[in-house]
Amino acid sequence: MTVVNDNASDEARHRFLARGAGPGIVAFLFGVAGRTALPGQVLHRLLTDLEMTDTAARAVIARMRRDGQLESVRHGRTAEYRLAGPFLESFHRVRDSGTRRPTPWTGAYHAVLHQVPESRRAYRDALRRAAVLGGFGILQPGVLISLTDRTAALGDLLTTVPDGARVYRAMLTMDVHEAAAAAWDAWNLAEVGALYRTHVATLTKAVRESDEHQPPTAETLRRFTELGRLPFVDTLRDPGLPPELVPPDWPGPALQRATVEVARRFAPAANAYVMSLLGP
């Protein structure tokens, strides 16, 4: 996380955290805690431990509630925040990515075809956002594909199609070569592969230069978040292709090994710090 001192830059950084990186940071904190629900006071404290201002932390939480990524449950005078909707599904996908097996190729992609007018842009954006979080690739505008039927990740978006919009479910049959080319485009594997290689280099260097044992402090949590948040979130961009569709020299396994090593080095101490805030 970049720390900037001047007020104007701080303000810009806080807007960025609230609108962009904020949800990923929150998901990472839930992952460190090993929970899908956290007391509001603890979540707020953890965000400020990561050098967010009080205002920025509240903005992140408020925006995620508006977007259906967090839901609030009252317990007397206190609130508990829970991950919700497609965001919760994506959290589980990241958490389980290390044990996920490649999906066998059946000869066809599951597809969602949509045609949404500009006047219904909010629906179109929500559909695309839920689809990407749910593991779909975007083959071309209006064509979402997945290796298995992942329409459950779209929630009620398939049953609340607005007037003037059309959404269809379909199967796209392809041979192996066509399917590999489609995967390359739909999940932007050229960009993802380059990104993964950068993550591997960064994480490998960080592990090499860090102590074997870390103290259970806010500083360790910050360091773990700085190192691990983006690589862990970016594992969502790996579609889990079957071997016959995987590009040559795909760096996904190398990234998995690097994230495991970083977690082994930093996660126990970071988790101990979070547990100290949660209490008995």
pLDDT at 95: 83
Pairwise CA distance, residues 78 & 124, whole Å: 36
Pairwise CA distance, residues 52 & 55, whole Å: 8
pLDDT at 103: 85
The count of C-alpha atoms lying within 13 angstroms of the C-alpha of 147, restricted to the half-sphere facing its C-beta, is 21
Domain boundaries, the chain: 7-90, 108-173, 189-268
Report which residue type is found at 192.
Answer: V
| 280 residues of the chain, pLDDT tens digit each | 333 333 433 443 333 333 357 899 999 999 999 999 999 999 999 999 998 999 999 999 999 999 999 999 988 888 999 999 888 988 888 888 766 778 899 999 999 999 999 999 999 999 999 899 888 999 999 999 999 999 998 989 999 999 999 999 999 999 999 999 999 999 999 999 999 999 999 999 999 999 999 999 999 999 999 999 999 888 888 999 999 999 999 999 999 999 999 999 999 999 999 999 998 7
Q: Which residue has the tokens 């259906």?
A: 68
Which neighbouring-strand residues pair with 110?
146, 171
CA distances for 125 relative to 67, 118, 121, 130, 165, angstroms: 12, 10, 6, 9, 13
CA-closest candidate to residue 145, choices 179, 100, 121, 115: 179
CATH architecture of 108-173: 2-Layer Sandwich (3.30)
pLDDT at 18: 38
The count of C-alpha atoms lying within 13 angstroms of the C-alpha of 197, restricted to the half-sphere facing its C-beta, is 7
Pairwise CA distance, residues 39 & 276, whole Å: 13
Q: What is the DSSP letter of 211?
A: -
Starting at the edge strand found earlier in the chain, the sheet holding 166-173 runs: 137-140, 143-146, 108-115, 166-173
Pairwise CA distance, residues 262 & 145, whole Å: 32
pLDDT at 98: 66
pLDDT at 226: 93
Q: Are both 7-90 and 108-173 of the same fold?
A: no
pLDDT at 96: 80
Q: What is the DSSP letter of 82?
A: E
Pairwise CA distance, residues 41 & 53, whole Å: 14
Three-state DSSP at 226 gives helix
Please tell me whether the overall predicted TM-score, pTM, comes out greater than 0.85 for this model.
no
CA-closest candidate to residue 187, choices 98, 231, 247, 127: 247
Q: Which two tokens stand for residue 37?
A: 């629900």
Fold entry, domain 7-90: Arc Repressor Mutant, subunit A (1.10.10)
Report which residue type is found at 128.
Answer: R
**C-alpha torsion angle, residues 171, 174, 125, 167 (rounded to 10):** -30
Task: Please give the angle made by the CA atoms of 112, 65 and 34, to the nearest 5 degrees.
Answer: 85
Q: Which helix (H) or strand (E) holds 1?
A: none
Return the CA Rg of the chain: 20
Three-state DSSP at 146 gives strand
Starting at the edge strand found earlier in the chain, the sheet holding 78-83 runs: 37-39, 78-83, 70-75
pLDDT at 8: 37
Pairwise CA distance, residues 34 & 36, whole Å: 7
